[in-house]
Structure formats: structure tokens, C-alpha cells
Chain A
Amino acid sequence: VPAAPPAPLGCDDPESEAAAAVAVNYINGQSHHGYKFTVNSIKSIRVVPQGPNNDFIFLELDLLETECPILSPTALENCTVRSFVDHAVEGDCDVKLQKVDGILSVLGSKCDSHADSNEDIRRACPDCPLLAEMNNTDVLETVAAALNDYNSKTTGSYLRLLEIGRGKIQYHPGYIIFTEFAVGATNCSAEEAKANVGACQLLPEDQSNFGFCRAVMVKRPLQDLQVDCQLYGHQVPAPDIPLLSQDTS
């Protein structure tokens, strides 16, 4: 007599949560753009037995964007979930996993992400800035001005723009543009870049050569620009000066 099939897994069962954790790590690991996502809710789970100690698991996940850029070394557990009024972005993912002898692995995933509607944000916070298109002129202008400003002041590596993560615009009170963007360190110092910026190449794709900047440009009532960049394991290119010099001056 065949054994009775096991009771279906609930979405909040520890086994489901373990599968969701493996799935979200896989999804973040596959992504090279934007921000890390975390699990907001397990919408459904289906286990299809394939044999002894061998199951396919189909998961449907509701994810939320965190504030950690995908290139950030911060562990997902330590990433802050982007708040609702910061114009949250949601991800819907279908994930297929396999569990063999208790070991979970992801076979494939399909995700779709979208920002919450402007109307929802307006209802909760009438004056909060709203997400702008990535190619918005004010967003592009702010990022370019911020990077120029940072590079003109830093004594470290000359930074190049990798990608714009977010741009938000506040219309009242004042006209303010909020941007977030990923940068990469080059083999030039900021001083060297002044002479020939075209010769500055991005350093190899190592996490320590990446960084992330936040910039706020106030356009009205008074113009102002603030930039804050964090480099993951900042590396300053070695100066073109020999360590041992004959020159004793």
C-alpha cells in the first residue's frame, strides 16, 4: 500500500522559508543591476515529488527592494528594506527549485519588478518625491554634476559612472532632485584624470573597486548640490613615484 502523500507545505513553514531564502539569494546573485531584493511574502509553494528524497519545489515570491546596491558587500540580512514612502519597488518571482537529500538548489527563476503607483505614494505622503525616469534630464544633470563635484574634490581614484540606481524628484516645497548611482574606480587619480580623462580605465571587476553615491540637487528656491560617495574597500592607485628615491630634497 503506497504511503499517504505528505501534507502540503504552508507558506510560513520553516521548509518554505528555507526555500525562499535560497531562492532570493540566487535571484540577487544573478542580478548585476539595481538593488538587492528581500522576501516580503511567500505567495504560494508547490512540492512535486520526483522520487525518494527528490522533490521539485515551485515557489511564488513577493519581494521588496532594499537600500543595498547589488554590488554592495553588505549581507542581505543587514540591508534596510526601502520604505513605502521612499517609493518602494516590488518584485514578483516564480522560482523552480530541486531538493535532493535535503539540499536545495535553484533550477530557474523568472522575475518582474514594478514601482508602487504615484497615486499610492501621494495618498500616504502628498509632498514626498516620486521616482523619475532614469533618462530624466534633471536626474542625468544631477548625476553628472555630482560626479564632477566629487572627482574635483577627492584625492583618491577618479570615479566613473556605472549606472544610475534611482532618481526621484520633489516638486514642493522647493524643486529637489534625489539620485543614487553606482560608480567604479579607475586606474587614474582624480588629478591624473584632469590631464587625460580618456586614458582612465575602470579597474578590474572586483567588489573593492565599486562604490555607491547619493546626490541631492536643490534647484529652487536656492541652488545647492550635496554628494556622498561610499567606496567598497577604497583603493587609491599607486603614485608614479619610486618607493626609494635618490632625490633627498
Chain B
Amino acid sequence: SVTKTAVAEAAQHDKVPRPVGFVPPPPPCPGKIRYFDI
């Protein structure tokens, strides 16, 4: 039960408020698929 509490608290700390209109950056790789994926 101690572990569960610690995890829950850590999760709360991760919830940093995002500014309004914030768009997360795309993952750096792999890049966009230009045509189609096979």
C-alpha cells in the first residue's frame, strides 16, 4: 500500500498544467509518411 501511495503522488506531480492552446510537438522520429505505409 505504501508503494501505491508513492506512485499516485508521483503521478500527481507529473500533471504540469499546460498553457491554453498548447500543442505538443510531434515525436522527432520516425518522420511523416509522405505517400502510404506498406
Using CB atoms and an 8 Å cutoff, list the residues of chain A in contact with chain B: 8-12, 16, 39-45, 62, 64, 81, 84, 88, 90, 116, 120
From B28, B33, B35, give the contact of A9 (CB < 8 A): B28
Using CB atoms and an 8 Å cutoff, list the residues of chain B in contact with chain A: 26, 28-38
Pair A43/B29 contact, Cβ less than 8 Å: yes
Cα of A50 to Cα of B38 in the assembled complex, Å: 36
Pair A64/B30 contact, Cβ less than 8 Å: no
Cα of A8 to Cα of B28 in the assembled complex, Å: 8
Pair A42/B35 contact, Cβ less than 8 Å: no
Pair B31/A64 contact, Cβ less than 8 Å: no
Cα of A94 to Cα of B37 in the assembled complex, Å: 18
Pair B34/A40 contact, Cβ less than 8 Å: yes
- Nearest residue (CB) in B for A20 is B31
The 4 closest A-B pairs by CB, nearest first: A11-B31, A10-B28, A11-B29, A42-B31
Cα of A45 to Cα of B31 in the assembled complex, Å: 10
Cα of A20 to Cα of B38 in the assembled complex, Å: 19
From B26, B30, B36, B38, give the contact of A42 (CB < 8 A): B30
